Amino acid sequence: MDQMTRREALGMLITGSLTGALISFTKGGKAMAEDIQQSGSSSLQLAPAYRGAHQVKPLPFDPTKLKGLSEKLITSHHQNNYGGAVRRLNQIQPQIGSLPKDAAPYQMGSLKREELIATNSMILHEFYFGNLGGDGKASGTIVDVIKAHYGTFEAWEHDFRLSGLSLAGGSGWVIMSYNPRDNAVHNYWAWDHTHSLAWGAPLLVMDMYEHSYHLDYGANARGYIDAFFQNINWDEVNRRAEAARPRK
């Protein structure tokens, strides 16, 4: 038998390596598919609190009809920022439910913090989009309620707008909430998704994260706030106020 040349030996080595790699890849792909299938089925076996089955709600208005807020801005905000929060929450909750019993406390703490951030982001965005799409003309019972607690509607509006400007260039929300502690409405400043009034009921929500206005206004937060007020759906604000008001 002739002695094997270096080229022949190298060729056999490469062929064998590729064959082994192909077999490993095929097995790995099958294992990966099985892992994905098992992951999907295991999430269905989790308790409802951990399943992460939240759905993105559609915009309650035509994004082409808003004044001073472009369709591109609104749809990007809705799909990427709000939708991203919903998708993130749906990933986090199964992870919490799948933690082993001997998990370290910091693992739970980290996931719980992210769960709260994603949950509040989802909810506040739904309030925000829900109170847009109107003509911006304040009317109804809420006007009388505001006057009763702020003296004049103009005083309340100045308070709300200035609260928004205080967050310009940062991250946060301005929320007019009903406070059951004193049976009154107040404008609250929220630095991020983890600040909110305990037991408060949001009536009017304005997003002051830069993603809510930067595409249209750059750093001009004041211009964005002007546009926000032109599009408030006061019928929705009145509906929320009626739902929050205590029954006699």
Task: Walk me through the domains of the chain, giving residue ranges and CATH numbers.
Answer: 70-130 (1.10.287), 141-244 (3.55.40.20)
Whether the per-residue pLDDT at 31 is higher than 90: the answer is: no
Which comes out higher in pLDDT, residue 6 or 173? 173
6 confidence band (pLDDT: 50, 70, 90): very low
Rounded average pLDDT over 129-146: 98
What is the arithmetic mean of pLDDT over 212-226? Answer: 98
Half-sphere exposure of 60 (CA within 13 A, CB side): 14
- Strands in the chain per DSSP E: 173-179, 184-190, 201-207
Q: Residue 192's pLDDT is what?
A: 86
3-state secondary structure of 247: coil
Rounded to an integer, the average pLDDT of 100-123 is 98
pLDDT band for position 118 (50/70/90)? Answer: very high
Measured distance CA(13)–CA(71) in Å, rounded: 59
Q: Is the pLDDT of residue 234 over 80?
A: yes
Confidence of residue 247 (pLDDT cuts 50, 70, 90): low
| Residues near 70 by beta carbon (within 8 Å), at least 6 away in sequence | 215, 216
Collapsing DSSP to helix, strand or coil, 184 comes out as: strand
User: pLDDT tier at 41 (50, 70, 90 boundaries)?
Assistant: very low
Write the pLDDT tens digit of every residue in 151-169.
999 999 999 999 999 999 8
Best mean pLDDT range from 23-27, 41-45, 200-204: 200-204
Contacts of 98 (CB under 8 A, 6+ apart): 42, 46, 50
